[in-house]
């Protein structure tokens, strides 16, 4: 028996890599501040639970393969408020943004065809692209440049006859980079001029901490209707990761036909989750105002905490709820293991995601980390204190500095 080449090309999730070790460390009585996973702690709006409780169909049946019509309608109305006009046929409900990405890759990639992705990027992109037999062409960025990637010449240099798509995350995970309108327009132009799909992962759309960005979406550029694929989700927007409801949006009719086949093959997204998700789209906009304000405070706390640690290189992220930072350690992976096994301050330690797996280019991100600021401010302050103490002790004990 043999495991497929495509499966062997996929990597385990770096966010969960240290999970078994962390479980053991916790069993031994140490407290861990988890900054490794983007699991928001903001309470899910009550509307989700009320709607699922009120559901009283006698049989819990499959939903339609492209999605619950009421949910699709709610999503259309949400986009209309952003000034983006969608038909019901343009939207396919998926099991989270994750399935939206997978179905898109399966629909547009053949073996050895390429997707240009700015690195560091969300590591599960590797799985989605590789599952479809594709290859990632990394658009390299650096901490010194604040991980910005919207440079036409650098993008165009990566385009080959095998390129099928440019894939971006805006606002970015893991970097928190948000594109300006001009940068979005330039990338849209490049995709259009080179006849490429533009996969725009916008699951963090509501989390932009400077009003000048508004609520960004490539969907406003109607001249790229045939190129554009928007990936969306209720996970982050409504603090509802467990609902497992997202969608893929495209006006490209051929692509719609392809995606529909994958939707039909898995029959339906969970019926009850879609009922709850439909109700989420009616929550008051005050919910976003409050959660954004909360994350902004947390971002400021983490950035300040990182800036107070000597030798840390960090740029203030403008969106999402992550910050990528370069630490004055030799190897973030080794440092994380050491923090869990050898370090403790009052019985506490801290956990982040080591940076290297967020890069395609070998040797990149070795001393970088991604921090998800999904804890309350006070906890974040303590986590930053632990990180500072850990770095100082590690440098002394492990690096002889």
Ligand X SMILES: Cc1ncc(COP(=O)(O)O)c(C=O)c1O
Interacting residue ranges for ligand X, rule: CB under 6 A? 38, 96-98, 122, 169, 173, 201, 203, 233, 235, 241, 246
Torsional class of 201: left (φ above 0), alpha (ψ -120 to 50), beta (otherwise) = beta
In angstroms, what is the minimal distance from the CB of 268 to ligand X? 17
In angstroms, what is the minimal distance from the CB of 96 to ligand X? 2
Helix (H, G, I), strand (E, B) or coil at 290: helix
In angstroms, the Cα distances linking 181 to 185, 217, 351 are: 6, 9, 35
Residue with tokens 């009052």: 346
In angstroms, what is the minimal distance from the CB of 246 to ligand X? 4
Q: Is 10 exposed, middle or buried (0-12, 13-18, 19+ CB in 10 A)?
A: middle
Question: Judged by CB, which is closer to ligand X: 25, or 165?
Answer: 165
Question: Judged by CB, which is closer to ligand X: 305, or 319?
Answer: 319
CB-based contacts of 339, cutoff 8 Å, min separation 6: 349, 350, 351, 390, 394
Residue with tokens 């547009």: 108
Q: Is 20 exposed, middle or buried (0-12, 13-18, 19+ CB in 10 A)?
A: exposed
* Residue closest to ligand X when measured from CB atoms: 96
In angstroms, what is the minimal distance from the CB of 353 to ligand X? 11
In angstroms, what is the minimal distance from the CB of 81 to ligand X? 21
In angstroms, what is the minimal distance from the CB of 358 to ligand X? 11
Question: Judged by CB, which is closer to ligand X: 97, or 146?
Answer: 97
Question: Judged by CB, which is closer to ligand X: 233, or 301?
Answer: 233
In angstroms, what is the minimal distance from the CB of 38 to ligand X? 5
Neighbours of 364 (CB within 10 A): 17
Nearest alpha-carbon partner for 68 in 268, 259, 256, 262:
268
Question: Judged by CB, which is closer to ligand X: 219, or 390?
Answer: 219
CB-based contacts of 42, cutoff 8 Å, min separation 6: 239, 291, 294
Question: Judged by CB, which is closer to ligand X: 14, or 38?
Answer: 38
In angstroms, what is the minimal distance from the CB of 280 to ligand X? 13
Question: Judged by CB, which is closer to ligand X: 241, or 392?
Answer: 241
Question: Judged by CB, which is closer to ligand X: 269, or 303?
Answer: 269
Nearest alpha-carbon partner for 115 in 162, 185, 175, 178:
162
Q: CA 236, CA 334: separation in Å to the nearest integer?
A: 30
């Amino acid at each position: 028996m043999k495991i497929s080449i495509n499966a062997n090309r996929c990597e385990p999730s770096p966010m969960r890599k240290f999970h078994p070790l962390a479980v053991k460390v916790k069993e031994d009585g140490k407290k861990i501040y988890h900054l490794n996973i983007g699991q928001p702690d903001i309470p899910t709006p009550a509307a989700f639970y009320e709607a699922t409780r009120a559901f009283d169909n006698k049989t819990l049946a499959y939903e339609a393969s492209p999605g619950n019509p009421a949910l699709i309608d709610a999503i259309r109305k949400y986009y209309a408020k952003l000034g983006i006009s969608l038909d019901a046929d343009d939207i396919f409900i998926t099991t989270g943004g994750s399935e939206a990405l997978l179905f898109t890759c399966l629909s547009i990639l053949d073996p050895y065809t390429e997707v240009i992705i700015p690195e560091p990027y969300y590591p599960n992109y590797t799985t989605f692209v590789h599952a479809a037999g594709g290859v990632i062409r990394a658009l390299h960025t650096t901490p010194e440049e604040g991980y910005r990637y919207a440079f036409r010449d650098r993008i165009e240099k990566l385009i080959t006859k095998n390129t099928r798509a440019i894939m971006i995350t805006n606002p970015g995970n893991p970097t928190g980079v948000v594109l300006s309108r001009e940068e979005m327009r330039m990338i849209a132009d490049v995709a259009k001029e080179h006849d490429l799909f533009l996969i725009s992962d916008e699951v963090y759309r509501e989390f932009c901490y400077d009003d000048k960005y508004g609520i960004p979406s490539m969907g406003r550029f109607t001249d790229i209707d045939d190129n554009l694929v928007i990936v969306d989700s209720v996970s982050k927007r409504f603090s509802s990761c467990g609902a497992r409801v997202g969608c893929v949006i495209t006006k490209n009719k051929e692509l719609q036909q392809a995606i529909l086949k994958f939707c039909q093959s898995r029959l339906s997204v969970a019926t009850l989750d879609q009922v709850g998700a439909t109700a989420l789209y009616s929550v008051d906009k005050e919910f976003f105002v409050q959660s954004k304000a909360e994350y902004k405070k947390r971002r400021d706390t983490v950035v300040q905490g990182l800036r107070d640690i000597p030798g840390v290189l960090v740029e203030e992220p403008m969106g999402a709820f992550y910050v990528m930072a370069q630490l004055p350690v030799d190897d973030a992976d080794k440092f994380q293991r050491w923090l869990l096994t050898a370090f403790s301050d009052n019985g506490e330690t801290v956990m982040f995601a080591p940076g290297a797996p967020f890069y395609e280019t070998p040797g990149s991100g070795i001393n970088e980390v991604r921090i998800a600021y999904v804890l309350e401010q006070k906890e974040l302050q303590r986590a930053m204190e632990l990180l500072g103490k850990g770095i100082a002790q590690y440098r002394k004990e492990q690096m002889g500095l």
